Amino acid sequence: MSIEIEQPSVGLSKVAVSETHGEDSPYFAGWKAYDENPYHELNNPSGVIQMGLAENQVSFDLLEDFLETHPEASSWGKGVSSFRENALFQDYHGLPSFRKAMASFMEQIRGGRAKFDPERVVLTAGATAANELLTFILADPGDALLVPTPYYPGFDRDLRWRTGVKIVPIHCDSSNNFQITPQALEAAFNEAEAMNIKVRGVLITNPSNPLGATIQRSVLEEILDFVTRKNIHLVSDEIYSGSVFSSSEFISIAEILEARQYKDSERVHIVYSLSKDLGLPGFRVGTIYSYNDKVVTTARRMSSFTLISSQTQHLLACMLSNKEFTENYIQINRERLRKRYDMIIEGLRSAGIECLKGNAGLFCWMNLSPLLEKPTREGELTLWNSMLHEVRLNISPGSSCHISEPGWFRVCFANMSEQTLEIALKRIHDFMEQRKRDI
């Protein structure tokens, strides 16, 4: 009889086994529920409606029109060399025509109020990669970035997992509509110092996710002064900059810097992507725009791990360098998002639910605190569970965005048709009516 000798199993790294990917939070659990029972107009009208995914599906027709009338974008033209050149192109500097088009698109979004130099555009496969890359460059393992709450749950993974960098929250609350205050900035910095953690920078999202609101000029000025005083970096994730309902209401950090003639600008870095404004998350297109030459050089080299397919760069260069198309797209996209926003706000209001006043993004920030049995995190999760399993809507609980006040939820409205949104609103309406009757 042979004796089974157990072989020691081969070990994996700490990164591989760590929980820092954060995919066990409710934010991701809701997706699982949706995957198991997804709503479909015809095949599954009582399924879970996905309102937890910030995707922009309202302007696909504009993209399709463009591609139909510009077949050269999806092919490589008649020239013998153009396909092979494109297929061979893996230069981390990126396709010059695409960088130029991206810079000019970013200018257009800001109404020409800021200039962007194509030489400072670094390309990455998505803003997810851009944020991680910047973190690798700006901070060492054990250092920290300050991030205002509530924040996009993906940051826990993108900024921390492989980098070993920590996030120290800058606490914001509803008393002033969640605006970032100088006191909150100082408090966060001191909290980090007290734990012997070196702060390397502040990361803001403007327009904010999940608030769906732009940051005011005065607040941006204060943040810039703060990071200058502390001699740290400022990363401004402006991924929703094209989704502001009214162009004049968005102030980019780039404008602030221009007004200051770029003094102290070498500490500022902007992240952008086409996933939200252009509704193309599947294309994996992100960018880092840095005013710091060393960061640009290093980010370029590091982007070797996350290059954008040259085929995609070519396609988007055609699209974004067409000024007529982009002007039209930006304007119409804004309009449609605003219309959706108005629709959902009205629908929620008539159900007795208030939201934070927003002016941007693909979602609204809903206040359900009056409905909580207990004003605690557990109370919020209980309510979230009801919304998910009874009302069959997947919405994102504020606790997964690290907010200290329970009861707030992010609700996405741009990743579905108007009909589906109406059905979702009806379900909420019915839910609220039921609760009134139960009381």
Residues 228-257 that bind other proteins (CB under 8 A): 228, 231-233
- φ/ψ (deg, to 5) at 328: -60, -45
Tokens of 170: 């800058």
Cβ proximity to other proteins, 301 vs 426, nearer residue: 301
Site for other proteins in 188-217 (CB under 8 A): 200
- Residue 87 CB, nearest distance to other proteins (Å)? 5
Largest pairwise CA distance in the chain: 83
DSSP secondary structure letter of residue 201: E
Distance CA 122, CA 146 (A): 23
- φ/ψ (deg, to 5) at 19: -95, 5
Q: Does 156 bind other proteins (CB under 8 A)?
A: no
Distance CA 357, CA 345 (A): 9
Site for other proteins in 275-314 (CB under 8 A): 279-285, 292-295, 297-298, 300-302, 304-312
* Pairing of the two strands 199-205 and 233-237: parallel
> In this structure, are residues 206 and 254 in contact, taking their beta carbons and an 8 Å threshold?
no
Distance CA 259, CA 21 (A): 39
Site for other proteins in 50-79 (CB under 8 A): 53, 55, 57, 60, 63-64, 67-68, 74-76
Q: Is 34 a catalytic residue?
A: no
Q: Is 152 a catalytic residue?
A: yes
Site for other proteins in 8-27 (CB under 8 A): 8-17, 21, 23
- Residue 113 CB, nearest distance to other proteins (Å)? 22
> In this structure, are residues 234 and 268 in contact, taking their beta carbons and an 8 Å threshold?
yes
- Residue 309 CB, nearest distance to other proteins (Å)? 4
The window from 83-91, 105-113, 179-187, 364-372 that contacts other proteins (CB under 8 A) reads 83-91
The reply to whether omega before 141 is within 30° of 0 (cis) is no
Cβ proximity to other proteins, 68 vs 438, nearer residue: 68
The window from 5-13, 41-49, 212-220, 359-367 that contacts other proteins (CB under 8 A) reads 5-13
Q: Is 32 a catalytic residue?
A: no
Site for other proteins in 88-147 (CB under 8 A): 88-93, 125-126, 128-129, 132, 136-141, 143
Q: Which of 120, 119, 138, 276 is nearest to 203 (CA)?
A: 138
Q: Is 357 a catalytic residue?
A: no
Kindly list the catalytic residues.
Answer: 152, 237, 239, 276
